[in-house]
Amino acid sequence: MDGIATLYIVTVSNAFDVYGVDRRPYLGNPDRAHAAVAPFPGPGGGKGVFVRIEGGGFATEYAHLDLADTAPLVPAGAFLAGFAPGADLVTRFAPLREFTDMTAIARWSAHRGDRIGVSGDSGYSEAPHLHYTVSRAGGPLLCPTAESGFADGGWLFH
């Protein structure tokens, strides 16, 4: 969709690596007897590096991105004050932070079909992947489903 894209960083690190927690019990359909819901003694880093696009009454988020591959996709002039292309963002954002402690570093107009990020393994991520969410602007997450009783009938876009 078209909208305003914002690149946020919680952390560029992965909590499993920082804390030395084995990822294997978390892959697939985890057995909670072996994969604790809260496996870290401190912050987990949330969505890591992510892009949020707001437009058309919806907001989408693309999380756990790889910063080294995503930063070059940010258009010239889109970095916010205090940030610049080529800045050492890895060192600055290596520490794990709480998932609510995010920093906006760039903002630009995005259009349907634009490449806005590259999937990675940042934050609280069990394995490299793209975490994708859709919500109504200012509302809760929407989950496309075939179940009855949902206002969108399980489909967000026709």
Q: What pLDDT, on the 0 to 100 scale, is given for residue 135?
A: 85
pTM for the structure as a whole: 0.88
Q: Is 117 exposed, middle or buried (0-12, 13-18, 19+ CB in 10 A)?
A: buried
41-75 pLDDT, tens digit each: 999 999 999 999 999 888 999 999 999 999 999 99
Q: What percent of the chain has pLDDT over 70?
A: 90
Q: What pLDDT, on the 0 to 100 scale, is given for residue 108?
A: 98
Span of 49-53, 57-61, 107-111, 122-126 with lowest mean pLDDT: 57-61
Residue 147's pLDDT band, with cuts at 50, 70 and 90, is: low
